[in-house]
C-alpha cells in the first residue's frame, strides 16, 4: 500500500492569526478600561442635570453658601489650633494654672501641650485627617442653613436632602465633595442635583505643616524652656554673690512683675530663620531659633494669661543674709552676700503661623521646674509629670469643719501633707468639706483662707474621722518706726517671727503688717544709706601649724604669722540701730488697734569693719519698745 502524506491547507498562517487576535483583544481591553475610567471621571459632566436659566441663580447661591461654609470652617480650624469642635474642657489648679484651653481675645484655643491641674503632661495635637473630618462635619451642619428667602418669595420650592461631605486639605487649596439632593421646583418645572464639588483657595494645609514642624522642634529640644531659663536669670535673682555688709532683699511681687515683663518682651522677640528682619546686630541673632518654615511666625505671651510662679520666700520677700559681719568672722576683713533661689515657673506661649491673611495658631505651656526645663514628652498623649504616688490614692473619707475663733464657719482650701508630699483635697464651702484623703499615719491637714492665718492640724488618716480646725483672723496694722524716740523714715528690715514662721517687711516701702493672735519675736535692723568707705588695710594673722620633722609627728606646733591685705571697700548700707523683743498680742488687742509703734535704740555709725561687727554684737542685747494703739 502506498502511504500518502496529507498536508493541511490554511489560507493564512495560524500563528500569525493568533497573534493578530490577541492584539485586537488587548486594544479592545484598553478601550474598555479607558472608557470606564472616563465614565467615572466625566460622568458628572456627562449626566449633569441641565439647569433651566431661571434656576441657575439659585444653584449659584447654593455654591456660594457651600464656599462660605468651607472658608468659615477653615478659618475656625486655623484660629482654634486645628479644632472646630473643641476637646473636653479641663480646668487648671493653683498648682498648675493651665486649663486645656488658652483664652485668646475671647476665643478658646486648645493647648497642643499643657500640664493639667493634677500635674499630668498632656498633648492634644489634631491630625490633618481629624481636621478634614471636623470641616466635613461643619459643612454638613451648616449647608442646610443656606438662605433662599428671596427665591421662596418668587415662588420657587427648594428642598435639601441629608448632606454627606468629604474634605481634602492641601497646601494651596481645600477640595470639598458634597453628596446631597438639591431639588428646585417651580410650577411644572423641577430639577434635582445630587453631587456638588468645589475647590477653595486656602493654605491651611501648608500652615498646619509649618505649625507641626515648630511644635515637634519644641518637644524635641525644648527651645522655649531654654529661652525661659535665660530670661529668669536675667530678670530675677537666681545665683550670685555681692560685696556688701547688709542683707540683700527683693520684694517678690516686684521680682515677678519684672520677670513677667521680660518674658512678654523676649517671647515676642523670638524669630525663625526665614523671617523678614535684619541680622546685622548680634543681639538679634540670639533670638533667631533654629527653625526654617515657609511662613511668617510669631511667638506671643501676655502677662494677663495664666502664670504659675513659685520660689521659697520669707513672707513675700527674698532675703540673702551677709557673711563677714558676725562675731568670729573678723579674719575675712570684708562682707559678702551669697544667694541661691530655686524657682518653678509655668506660662503659656501662643505660636502663630501666617501667610498673607491666613493664620494658624496653637498654644503650648512652658514649664520650668527647679530652675531647669521640664523633661521632654516622649510620644504619649498623657504622661505623668512626677505626680506623687500619695496623691493618686485617696480612699479615707474625712469631714473637715473650719471655724474662726468666734465659731463662725470659714470657707477654706484644704490640702494634706505627709512625708514631704502635699496633695490638694478640695474647698470647704460654708465651713465644711467631706472628701477622701490619702492614708497616712501622721500627716498634716492645711487650711488656707483669705484674711486668716494658715492653719495646720496633725491628723492620722488611716481611719475616717471628723475634724474641727480653728483659724485665727488676720488684722492689718500700720507700722510707725522710731529711732531713740524720734520718727524714723530711713531703711529698715522688720521681722515678726512666730511658731507659724517669719513675716518680714522692708521699711519704709512696706509700712503695714498682718498679724493674728500669738507670741512674736520682733527684730528690727535699721540701716544708714550712704557711701561708707573702708580704707585699704593690712593686718597680721597668726595660726598654729605643725612643727616640721619628728616634732610634728608627736603633735608639737609652732605659731606662723602672715599679713592679710584687705582691699578698699565702699559699703552703701550699714547697721546703725535696732534690737529684739518678744511680745504676745491678744486678738482683742489686734482687733481694737490700728498702729503698732516700734522704738529702737541707735548704734554708733561704724567706720571700720571691726566697728560694724561690734554693732551686730550690741544688736543682740538691744531691746525694743512695742506699743499697740
- Does 450 score more than 70 pLDDT? yes
Residue 24: beta bridge partners?
none
Query: What is the model's pLDDT at position 201?
Result: 94
Same domain, 615 and 589: yes
Which residues lie closer than 8 Å to 481 by C-beta, 6 or more apart?
487, 488, 489, 492, 494, 507, 508, 524, 526, 598, 600
Mean pLDDT of the chain: 83
Query: What is the model's pLDDT at position 214?
Result: 95
Whether 407 is in a domain gets the answer: yes
Rounded to whole angstroms, the Cα distance separating 406 from 453 reads 15
Same domain, 315 and 282: yes
Q: 3-state DSSP helix/strand/coil percent for the chain, to nearest 5?
A: 25, 40, 35
Same domain, 348 and 292: yes
Same domain, 72 and 188: yes
Whether 48 is in a domain gets the answer: no
What number of other Cβ atoms are within 10 A of residue 628's Cβ? 16
* Contact between 472 and 499 (Cβ < 8 Å): no
pTM of the model: 0.67
- List Cα–Cα distances, 618 to 483, 528, 611, in angstroms: 15, 17, 10
- Does 3 score more than 50 pLDDT? no
Residue finishing a domain among 353, 376, 399 = 376
Rounded to whole angstroms, the Cα distance separating 252 from 510 reads 12
DSSP H/E element including 596: strand 595-600
Q: Count the domains in the chain.
A: 4
Query: What is the model's pLDDT at position 554?
Result: 57
Query: What is the model's pLDDT at position 322?
Result: 80
R_g of the chain, CA atoms, integer Å: 40
Higher pLDDT, 250 or 553: 250
Angle at 270 between CA 269 and CA 272, to 5 degrees: 135
* Contact between 529 and 491 (Cβ < 8 Å): yes
Rounded to whole angstroms, the Cα distance separating 367 from 373 reads 6
Same domain, 483 and 464: no
Residue finishing a domain among 159, 187, 202 = 202
Same domain, 346 and 431: no
Q: What is the pLDDT of residues 7-36, one digit of tens each?
A: 343 344 444 545 555 566 566 656 565 555
Backbone angle region of 575, left / alpha / beta, with phi > 0 → left and psi within -120 to 50 → alpha: beta
Mean pLDDT value across residues 416-435: 88
Whether 551 is in a domain gets the answer: no
pLDDT band at 378 (very low <50, low <70, confident <90, very high): low
Whether 488 is in a domain gets the answer: yes
Rounded to whole angstroms, the Cα distance separating 79 from 353 reads 10
Query: What is the model's pLDDT at position 540?
Result: 64
Residue 269 belongs to domain spanning: 205-209+225-376
We report the CATH number of the domain holding residue 395 as: 2.60.40.1120
Phi, psi at 317, each rounded to 5° = -130, 145
We report the CATH number of the domain holding residue 574 as: 2.60.40
Query: What is the model's pLDDT at position 589?
Result: 93
Higher pLDDT, 343 or 562: 343
Whether 40 is in a domain gets the answer: no
Higher pLDDT, 323 or 565: 323
Residue 12: burial class (beta carbons within 10 Å; 0-12, 13-18, 19+)? exposed
Q: Provide the percentage of residues in the chain whose pLDDT is more than 70.
A: 79
Which residues lie closer than 8 Å to 545 by C-beta, 6 or more apart?
557, 558, 559, 560
Same domain, 306 and 419: no
Query: What is the model's pLDDT at position 247?
Result: 81
Whether 600 is in a domain gets the answer: yes
Same domain, 230 and 372: yes
Same domain, 428 and 501: no
Whether 99 is in a domain gets the answer: no
494 half-sphere exposure, CB direction, 13 A CA radius: 27
Same domain, 438 and 513: no
Q: What is the pLDDT of residues 176-224, one digit of tens each?
A: 999 999 999 988 888 999 999 999 999 999 999 999 999 999 999 999 9
Query: What is the model's pLDDT at position 4?
Result: 34
Whether 514 is in a domain gets the answer: yes
Query: What is the model's pLDDT at position 15?
Result: 45
Mean pLDDT value across residues 462-469: 92
Paired sense of beta strands 189-201 and 443-448, if any:
unpaired
Same domain, 170 and 266: no
pLDDT band at 569 (very low <50, low <70, confident <90, very high): low
Q: What is the pLDDT of residues 276-299, one digit of tens each?
A: 555 555 556 888 888 989 899 999
Same domain, 494 and 369: no
Amino acid at each position: 500500500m502506498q502511504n500518502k502524506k496529507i498536508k493541511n491547507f490554511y489560507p493564512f498562517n495560524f500563528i500569525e492569526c493568533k497573534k493578530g487576535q490577541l492584539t485586537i483583544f488587548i486594544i479592545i481591553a484598553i478601550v474598555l478600561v479607558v472608557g470606564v475610567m472616563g465614565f467615572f471621571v466625566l460622568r458628572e459632566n456627562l449626566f449633569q442635570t441641565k439647569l433651566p436659566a431661571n434656576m441657575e441663580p439659585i444653584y449659584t447661591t447654593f455654591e456660594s453658601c457651600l464656599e462660605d461654609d468651607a472658608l468659615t470652617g477653615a478659618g475656625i480650624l486655623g484660629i482654634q489650633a486645628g479644632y472646630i469642635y473643641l476637646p473636653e474642657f479641663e480646668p487648671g489648679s493653683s498648682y498648675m494654672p493651665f486649663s486645656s484651653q488658652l483664652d485668646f481675645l475671647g476665643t478658646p484655643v486648645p493647648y497642643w501641650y499643657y500640664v493639667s491641674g493634677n500635674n499630668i503632661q498632656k498633648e492634644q495635637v489634631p491630625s490633618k485627617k481629624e481636621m478634614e473630618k471636623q470641616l466635613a462635619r461643619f459643612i454638613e451642619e451648616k449647608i442646610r442653613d443656606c438662605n433662599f428667602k428671596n427665591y421662596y418669595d418668587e415662588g420657587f420650592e427648594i428642598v435639601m436632602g441629608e448632606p454627606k461631605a468629604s474634605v481634602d486639605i492641601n497646601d494651596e487649596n481645600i477640595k470639598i465633595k458634597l453628596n446631597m439632593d438639591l431639588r428646585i421646583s417651580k410650577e411644572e418645572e423641577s430639577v434635582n442635583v445630587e453631587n456638588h464639588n468645589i475647590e477653595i483657595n486656602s493654605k491651611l494645609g501648608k500652615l498646619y505643616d509649618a505649625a507641626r514642624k515648630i511644635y515637634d522642634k519644641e518637644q524635641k529640644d525644648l527651645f522655649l524652656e531654654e529661652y525661659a531659663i535665660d530670661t529668669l536669670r536675667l530678670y530675677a535673682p537666681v545665683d550670685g554673690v555681692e560685696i556688701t555688709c547688709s542683707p540683700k532683699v527683693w520684694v517678690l511681687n516686684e521680682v515677678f512683675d519684672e520677670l513677667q515683663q521680660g518674658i512678654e518682651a523676649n517671647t515676642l522677640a523670638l524669630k525663625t530663620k526665614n523671617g523678614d528682619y535684619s541680622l546685622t546686630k548680634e543681639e538679634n541673632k540670639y533670638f533667631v531659633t533654629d527653625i526654617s518654615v515657609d511662613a511668617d511666625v510669631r511667638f506671643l505671651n501676655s502677662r494677663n494669661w495664666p502664670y504659675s510662679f513659685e520660689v521659697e520666700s520669707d513672707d513675700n520677700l527674698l532675703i540673702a543674709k551677709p557673711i563677714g559681719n558676725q562675731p568670729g568672722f573678723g579674719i575675712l576683713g570684708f562682707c559678702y552676700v551669697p544667694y541661691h533661689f530655686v524657682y518653678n515657673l509655668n506660662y503659656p506661649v501662643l505660636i502663630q503661623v501666617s501667610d498673607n491673611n491666613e493664620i494658624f495658631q496653637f498654644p503650648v505651656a512652658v514649664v520650668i521646674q527647679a530652675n531647669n526645663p521640664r523633661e521632654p514628652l516622649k510620644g504619649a498623649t498623657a504622661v505623668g509629670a512626677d505626680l506623687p504616688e500619695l496623691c493618686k490614692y485617696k480612699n479615707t473619707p474625712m469631714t473637715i469643719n473650719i471655724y474662726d475663733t468666734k465659731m463662725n464657719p470659714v470657707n477654706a482650701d484644704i490640702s494634706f501633707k505627709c512625708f514631704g508630699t502635699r496633695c490638694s483635697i478640695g474647698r470647704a464651702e460654708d465651713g465644711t468639706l467631706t472628701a477622701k484623703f490619702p492614708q497616712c499615719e501622721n500627716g498634716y491637714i492645711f487650711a488656707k483662707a483669705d484674711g486668716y492665718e494658715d492653719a495646720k492640724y496633725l491628723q492620722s488618716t488611716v481611719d475616717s474621722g471628723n475634724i474641727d480646725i480653728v483659724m485665727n483672723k488676720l488684722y492689718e496694722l500700720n507700722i510707725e518706726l522710731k529711732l531713740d524716740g524720734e520718727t524714723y523714715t530711713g531703711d529698715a528690715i522688720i521681722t515678726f517671727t512666730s511658731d507659724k514662721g517669719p513675716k518680714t517687711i522692708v521699711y519704709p516701702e512696706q509700712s503695714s503688717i498682718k498679724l493674728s493672735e500669738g507670741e512674736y519675736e520682733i527684730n528690727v535692723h535699721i540701716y544708714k544709706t550712704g557711701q561708707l568707705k573702708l580704707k585699704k588695710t593690712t593686718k597680721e594673722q597668726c595660726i598654729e601649724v605643725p612643727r616640721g620633722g619628728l616634732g610634728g609627728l608627736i603633735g608639737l606646733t609652732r605659731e606662723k604669722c602672715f599679713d592679710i591685705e584687705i582691699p578698699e571697700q565702699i559699703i552703701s548700707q550699714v547697721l546703725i540701730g535696732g534690737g529684739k523683743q518678744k511680745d504676745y498680742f491678744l486678738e482683742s488687742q489686734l482687733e481694737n488697734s490700728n498702729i503698732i509703734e516700734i522704738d529702737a535704740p541707735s548704734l554708733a555709725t561704724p567706720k571700720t569693719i571691726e566697728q560694724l561687727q561690734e554693732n551686730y554684737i550690741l544688736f543682740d542685747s538691744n531691746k525694743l519698745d512695742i506699743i499697740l494703739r
